[in-house]
Structure 1
Amino acid sequence: MKTRITDLLKIKYPIFQGGMAWVADGDLAGAVSNAGGLGIIGGGNAPKEVVKANIDRVKEITDKPFGVNIMLLSPFADDIVDLVIEEGVKVVTTGAGNPGKYMERFHEAGIVVIPVVPSVALAKRMEKLGADAVVAEGMEAGGHIGKLTTMALVRQVAAAVNIPVIAAGGIADGYGVAAAFMLGAEAVQVGTRFAVAKESNAHQNFKNKILKAKDIDTVVSASIVGHPVRAIKNKLSTTYAKAEQDYMRGLKDEQEIEELGAGALRNAVVDGDVDFGSVMAGQISGLIDKEETCEAILKDLYYGAADIIQMQASRWSDVEK
């Protein structure tokens, strides 16, 4: 299962760990990279010194490639761009904005640039800007989401661009990885399963909420006001839904609703408030029921996919006979 992505990034497994804000720190990213995947530090809205500390931590754990996810709407985006160049980071993934103005600097520094996209149009635009690959993320993913499902999005993006495509959203085992490859992806990005890894520093309450979740336990908030977010339903999501109904009736303004989500992800991940914090997780949560090491997760994803692909190939061969 060597692909253009494994060759480009010099990684063993074509598997990225999602750059989840507050969750994807140096410990988690370092463990994933050390085990053969691509660990990614979630920059989120963190200032330069915080991201620097996480980069230093990864370098303590491994000498293998790792990435940093830069949220381009962050007030510290320019600082983080400077930082990844200074620190010799090999890969940058981007979200919530256009990386075009940084593209030349990234490439001059030898950085592979991989934007996260929710549509074919944006994938094509990123290719024209010089992106080395794109992450096509479907709405099954946790956190901020687009409108298309992974199955619909990945196939259409793979057919529309010539650069490698990484599939994301709703992937947590070998079956999901195999499906992504059949759709034309050359790697996958996995978030929720790594969020509950043994090396993840997310609060145990946060992990337990995911481990106990069923297939229908995630909801999408902020569809009316703001950017849609998928999380496991709790008192916060119920409050948010009521507030959006009040907004539609003219009983609340936009600022009041936005304030409900301020700091909510940190409250869940760091403080363990899974009632009024935002437990961002994907629809695949119902398939995840145990904590494992990053190495065990990577092997299960990779070899599980290989076994499934071989099994299906054998079935087709038997039919032809």
Structure 2
Amino acid sequence: MQLTKLLHIQNPIIQGSMARISTPALVVAVSEAGGLGVLTTTGATANSLQQNLKTIRAATKKPFGVNLMLQQPNIAELLPVLQADPVPVVFTSAGNPAPFMKELLALGTKVIPVVPNVKIAKKMAALGASAIVAEGLESGGHIGTETTMALVPQVVAAVTIPVIAAGGIGTAAGVKAAFALGAVGVQVGTAFLAAEETPIHNNYKQLVIQADDNGTVVTGTGGNQVRSLKNALTEILLATTDPARFEQLSQGSLQRAIDGDVDRGSFMAGQIAGAINEIRPTKAIVIELAKGVPTIIEDLF
């Protein structure tokens, strides 16, 4: 099924949720531009989530999504909000949505898990997921171990539900490549860091558009690896072997980045940052990405 039909959107372009960044202003801008804006719930309370939903609905009649990072400590507080006031789409990450998937689906909400490998993709499809986001390690923030190029076609072959490609996609050419791999849409985060409507300090946006192809680095170990733009903090983190010290340095680093602290902030961004060269309106970004969407299958070749 085409993603546009499944989600009732004009373009199969999904704005990836970014912790503390994809707030109502960006969500509305993306949805109004014909894509699907996705609200972050990181740091949200039940009251703030209710207010954010109210703000979005007052500003747009277009579909939008909400991301639930399932390992956040107050997830039990947030779920009832989405059950009492259903949203068009819920994206899940960092956890198992099985306990509430059926209920959300019964409410008419599409549930789309973000997965890093084929094994989890199969499990989510078996649970009844509406679609899958297959995210490669090129993405910003917390990453898996498989590249987008390798992961997407394997997930496409393993499940019968729609697959959305994510990780390292931020140009029209990248969108076209994702469709050639079998995806029916893309999820994009880093490109929207350079959107005029994105509520981050200009220092963050400047670091994104100034980055080159070697501008990001992965810090952390095991299942807690994070990709971000290189700066003084990443150098210190790479040299830190004490887990307690690493945690201390990381605490609050994302908010410091949002506030523009170029030395002590964790400026999460994907490898595609090297191809993002200017700050533009969200609408212009969506229009440019949509140029890579094939109109017919022959357009891929």
1:307 Cα deviation (Å)? 8.5
1:277 pairs with one of 265, 274, 286: 265
Identity %: 47
| Superposition RMSD in Å | 1.6
Matched, 1:232 2:221: no
Alignment of 1:1-16 (within 5 A): 3-16=1-14
* Alignment partner of 1:29 out of 27, 46, 53: 27
Unaligned runs of at least 5 residues, structure 1 = 314-321
Whole-angstrom distance in 1 between the partners of 2:195 and 2:84: 30
After superposition, the Cα gap between the structure-2 partners of 1:127 and 1:149, relative to the gap in structure 1 and judged at 3 Å, is same
Select the residue among 162, 165, 172 that pairs with 2:163: 165
* Structure 1 position 312, deviation (Å): 5.6
- SS of the residue 1:266 aligns to: helix
CA drift of 1:233 comes to 0.8
CA deviation profile, 1:149-191 (whole Å, cap 9, x unmatched)? 0000001001110010000000011110000001010110000
Which amino acid in structure 2 is aligned with residue 298 of structure 1?
V
Distance across 1 between alignment mates of 2:52 and 2:81: 12
How far residue 311 of structure 1 moved from its aligned partner, in angstroms, is 6.2
Asked if residue 302 in structure 1 is aligned to residue 268 in structure 2, the reply is no
Partner Cα separation in structure 2 for residue 51 and residue 208 of structure 1: 29
Shift in alpha-carbon separation, 1:158–1:307, aligned structure 2, 3 A: closer
Indicate conservation of the 8 Å contact 2:228/2:269, yes or no: yes
Select 2:239's aligned residue among 237, 242, 249.
Answer: 242
Q: TM-score, normalising length from structure 1?
A: 0.90
Asked if the contact 2:180–2:300 (Cα under 8 Å) also holds between the matched residues in 1, the reply is no
Secondary structure in 2 matching 1:115: strand
CA distance in structure 2 between the partners assigned to 1:312 and 1:126 by the alignment: 29
User: Partner amino acid for 1:278?
Assistant: S
Query: What is the distance in 1 between the residues matched to 2:260 and 2:2?
Result: 39
Amino acid aligned to 1:241: L
Q: Which runs of 4+ in 1 moved over 4 A?
A: 307-312
Out of 129, 132, 135, the position equivalent to 2:130 is: 132
d(CA) in 2 for partners of 1:218 and 1:29?
A: 25
Give, in angstroms, the shift of residue 308 of structure 1.
Answer: 11
Which amino acid in structure 1 is aligned with residue 52 of structure 2? Answer: N
Contact 1:174 1:308 in 2 (8 A): no
1:124 alignment partner, SS class: helix
Question: Structure 2 stretches of 5 or more lacking a match?
Answer: none
Alignment correspondent of 1:210 = 208
Whose Rg is larger?
A: 1
After superposition, the C-alpha distances for 1:96-118 in whole angstroms (9 at most, x for unaligned) are 10000011210121110000000
| 1:253-308: CA deviation from partner (whole Å, max 9, x where unpaired) | x2222222111111101x11121110000000010011111211111111244489
Which of 217, 242, 258 lines up with 2:247 in the alignment?
258
Partner SS for 1:68? strand
**SS of 2:71 mapped into structure 1:** coil
